[in-house]
Structure 1
Amino acid sequence: MKSRRSLSLEDVYIKKFFQKYPDSKHEDAIKICGFDPPPARVFGQGQRVLELKETGVSEEEAMAVADMEYRLEKKAKKRAYARLKQIAKFQGKRPPPNPYPSAIKAIQAEERKYV
């Protein structure tokens, strides 16, 4: 007898999110020491879509809103780091390391010492 895998309600939306943003799989790696859920769970049509559907919004509109919020958060992070670099340049200091590094680059940096 085969055991069936249990799925939560948001898993359907998370799969759709990963189909739309395949690069997000690397960003959404689970951080053991982190308390924040990965973006796919929050914006990626997971929790956010379910919240919007509870308020009476249609599924398509809820997915569009969650998608827009995800893209806005990514843009805000890029703008924040650009502003940090600009401030460091005005002060004549070296720019700080990116507080929102690419997950792929972080993995490559860890593996670089073994290559």
Structure 2
Amino acid sequence: MSSLNTDFLAKLHEKIRNQRNDFSHKLSKKIISDNQAVVVESLNIKGMVKNHRLAKCISDSGWYKFINMLEYKAKFYDRRLIKVKPFYPSSKLCHVCGYKNRFLTLSDRK
């Protein structure tokens, strides 16, 4: 591979990296500025990468970096960022009284 091709490829990768960072910064700023509290699920990314069909897409998505951006922007703008464990039954809980419907299936949830 010639030097010209490697330089072009390096610039292309840098451009894509910059575009992703720009998008993540703008989206995290919008989410934090539009809400007093933001709730995110703590994902087990190491476990998800073990699925070989999805590993490249999961690794490429930059979830950790995005959550990190949300964290420091939430602190800066005095907002709350709440991390929920992966198996927390949020869709089974009543938002008013906190009752947990144990018989709710995935097809019932909206």
Q: Normalising TM by the smaller chain, what interval?
A: 0.3 to 0.5
CA radius of gyration, larger in = 2
- Length-normalised TM-score, structure 1: 0.32
The structure with the greater share of residues assigned to strand is 2
What TM-score, normalized to structure 2? 0.33
